[in-house]
Homo-oligomer: A and B are copies of this chain.
Amino acid sequence: MRLLDIAEVAQRSGTPASALRYYEEKGLIASVGRRGLKRLFESAVLERLALIALGQTAGFSLAEIARTFLPDGRAEIDRDRLLAKAEELDGMIGQLGAIRDGLRHAAVCPAPSHLECPTFRRIMGLAASGALPRSPLLATSGRRARGGAT
């Protein structure tokens, strides 16, 4: 199995080297040695990074993701946790759908102010009730949004 240096892993995974070092520090990935100072990784790390990306997208924190990796390096993903997360996602999807519809409605609603529109008020009530999470779902700020490797 060919060994990759950090630059190559960064390039092929689209993950900045600084993030790779960070992941290693957190135990999410492991380098298998050094060439001089430079870390060397097995190419399997790319798979692992993909798994990490997937986990993040699914809403797991890095700490949770780290826990799914067994000491021997394999990933043993708890099937019940997966199902639970799928359930969560399902609820989420329904709620996001409601919000999307609400936004669309608000965009065309003839009411002089959105506050006077019953549909909009209903959705507002939903959000205010805490039924919907206040997550930065689509945060435009801060977070990187780069594509993968070129």
Contacts and interface: CB of A to CB of B under 8 A. Distances in A.
Contacts of A123: 54
7 contacts: A54-B127, A57-B134, A59-B136, A59-B140, A61-B141, A82-B106, A89-B103
A125 to B, nearest CB: 6
Copies in the complex: 2
A128 B13 contact: yes
A59 B133 contact: no
Interface string A46-70: 1101110110111101011000000
Interface of A: 13-14, 46-47, 49-51, 53-54, 56-59, 61, 63-64, 74-75, 77, 79-80, 82-83, 85-86, 88-90, 92-93, 95-97, 99-104, 106-108, 113-115, 123-141, 143, 145-148
A80 B75 CA distance: 44
Given A99-B58, A124-B47, A137 B137 contact: yes
A55 to B, nearest CB: 8
A128 B83 contact: no
A90 B97 CA distance: 7
A14 to B, nearest CB: 6
Contact of A143 (B13, B58, B103, B135): B135
A20 to B, nearest CB: 13
